[in-house]
Amino acid sequence: MRRLLPFLLLWACLCAMWLLLVGGVSPGSLLLGAALAAGACWGYALLEPGRARLRRPLVAARLFLDVLADVIRSNVAVAGIILRPGRADRRAGFVRIPLALRAPGGLAVLACILTAAPGTAWVEYDSATGVLLLHILDLVEEETWVRTVKDRYERPLLEIFA
């Protein structure tokens, strides 16, 4: 059965989501949902995902709280930018940040963190050099952003994904 459906729980969740989206259970929608979920599971199996292990749960919890606070702070700052337009000293820009983090899972989490906060966007990552290109809506000082990403986010992610 593992070979036929490599991720049984994922298959069941995708089937349930399909049935919720179509708004009813009929033989046709059940069959189509099962087929689509099976295709998605087989496609996911081709990616050969590694086993996820949570290392350093206290560091992960602390990172979660830091990110939550930063997202709230960023929402307030972006709301201020929108509600009080016209400041002449405000400028958007790009920042290049050299990263030591190379773990794909860690980079994915970092991308989610940086794009979750309004006003920042992950633009590009060069895997050969390890340089991240980040767009900042209200760029005051580049070095502050480099230090923030490296100290506040990258360092805990290195501990979690080491």
Task: Residue 106: name the closest of 146, 154, 58, 49 by CA.
Answer: 154
Compute φ and ψ for 136, nearest 5 degrees.
-120, 130
117-123: average pLDDT: 90
39-65: average pLDDT: 85
* Distance, CA of 119 to CA of 51 (rounded, Å): 33
DSSP secondary structure string, 91-131? --EEEEEE-----HHHHHHHHHHHHHSTTEEEEEEETTTTE
* Distance, CA of 35 to CA of 10 (rounded, Å): 13
Where do the structural domains in the chain lie, given as residue ranges? 5-46, 57-160
Q: What is the pLDDT of residue 88?
A: 60
Is the separation of the CB atoms in 33 and 14 below 8 Å? yes
Q: pTM here?
A: 0.70
Q: Which of 140 and 130 is assigned the larger pLDDT? A: 130
User: How long, in residues, is the chain?
Assistant: 162
Q: What percent of the chain has pLDDT over 90?
A: 58
